[in-house]
C-alpha cells in the first residue's frame, strides 16, 4: 500500500499517532513520518488505513493495491 501524508492539511490533533507510531510530529506538531519522506510504500496495515479514515482533515491518504 502507498501511504502519503499532507502536512499542509494537518491540524496537529494527534489522532493518527494513536493508531500507529509510524506517525510523528514536527516542531509545530504537524504530522510527519520518522523519515523525511511524505510518501511510503508499505505492507498493508489496518491501523494505517484506520488512521487515514479517522483523520479529520484527510491529511493522510492511503492507496491499496
Query: For the segment 5-58, what is each residue's pLDDT rounded down to a tens digit?
Result: 999 999 999 999 999 999 999 999 999 998 889 999 999 999 999 999 999 999
Q: Are 34 and 7 in contact (CB under 8 A)?
A: no
Query: How confident is residue 61, by pLDDT bands cut at 50, 70 and 90?
Result: very high
pLDDT given for residue 59 in this prediction? 97
Tell me: pLDDT of 65 over 90: no
SS (H, E, C) 1-65: CEEEECHHHCCCCCHHHHHCCCEEECCCCCEEECCCCCEEECCCCHHHHHHHHHCCCCCEEEECC
pLDDT given for residue 18 in this prediction? 96
CATH of 2-63, picked from 3.30.70.20, 3.90.1010.10, 3.40.50.10440, 3.30.1050.10, is 3.30.70.20
- Residue 19 backbone zone (phi > 0: left; psi -120 to 50: alpha; other: beta): alpha
Domain ranges of the chain: 2-63
Amino acid at each position: 500500500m502507498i501511504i502519503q501524508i499532507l502536512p499542509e492539511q494537518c491540524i496537529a490533533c494527534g489522532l493518527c499517532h494513536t493508531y500507529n507510531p509510524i506517525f510523528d510530529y514536527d516542531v509545530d506538531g504537524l504530522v510527519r513520518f520518522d523519515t523525511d519522506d511524505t510518501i511510503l510504500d508499505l505492507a498493508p496495515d489496518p491501523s494505517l488505513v484506520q488512521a487515514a479514515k479517522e483523520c479529520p482533515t484527510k491529511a493522510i491518504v492511503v492507496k491499496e493495491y
